[in-house]
Amino acid sequence: MSVPILPTISTFFIVLSAILVAIGWVLILKRKVDAHKKTMLAAGVSALLFFIIYVSRTVFIGNTSFGGPDHLKIYYTIFLVFHIMLATTGAVFGIISIYTGLKDKLPRHRKIGPVTSIIWFFTAITGVAVYLLLYILYEGGDTTSMIKAIFGN
């Protein structure tokens, strides 16, 4: 079994973004505001790199359908939809968190930042699980459009 390079790289960037968010959280707890800001911006760049690779692969190559046992497909599909909803919510919250932090809207930033971080941790964890299910634990199915990958043929 060979591991596809683009999904591996994109998964690396999403994990890196979560690690950077965790580091940023520790930095702000230590009142290291400048280091927190730089780390969180690096986390945002890492998440953006993931997104660029993911969208590029989707547009030019397509998505890989679940290649595991048929009796697990419904559970994988539910899990994938949950991950997509988390990722979308986390991205929106992330943009708002970065914006409010950069614009010194700190009361709002302090409220939304911790929530964003938790959503992002779960996004990264479920993203790694999707990667493992698609490429490591089971051999990937057909690579096709996103709609077919989610809902089948």
- Domain residue spans of the chain: 5-146
pLDDT of residue 149: 60
Q: What is the pTM of this model?
A: 0.87
Burial class of residue 63 in the structure, from the number of CB atoms within 10 Å of its CB (0-12 exposed, 13-18 middle, 19+ buried)? buried
Length of the chain: 153
Q: What does the block give as tokens for 42?
A: 């690096």
Distance CA 53, CA 59 (A): 10
Q: What does the block give as tokens for 140?
A: 């990937």
Give per-10-residue mean pLDDT for the chain (153 aa). 85 97 97 97 97 88 88 95 96 97 96 97 96 91 69 64
Tokens 């698609």, residue located: 134
- CB distance 123 to 93 below 8 Å: no
Distance CA 112, CA 10 (A): 26
pLDDT of residue 45: 98
- Going 98 to 99 to 103 to 104, the CA torsion angle's sign is negative
CATH class in words for 5-146: mainly alpha
Q: What does the block give as tokens for 29?
A: 């707890």
* Per-residue H/E/C for the chain: CCCCHHHHHHHHHHHHHHHHHHHHHHHHHCCCHHHHHHHHHHHHHHHHHHHHHHHHHHHHCCEECCCCCHHHHHHHHHHHHHHHHHHHHHHHHHHHHHHHHHCCCHHHHHHHHHHHHHHHHHHHHHHHHHHHHHHHCCCCCCEECHHHHHHCC
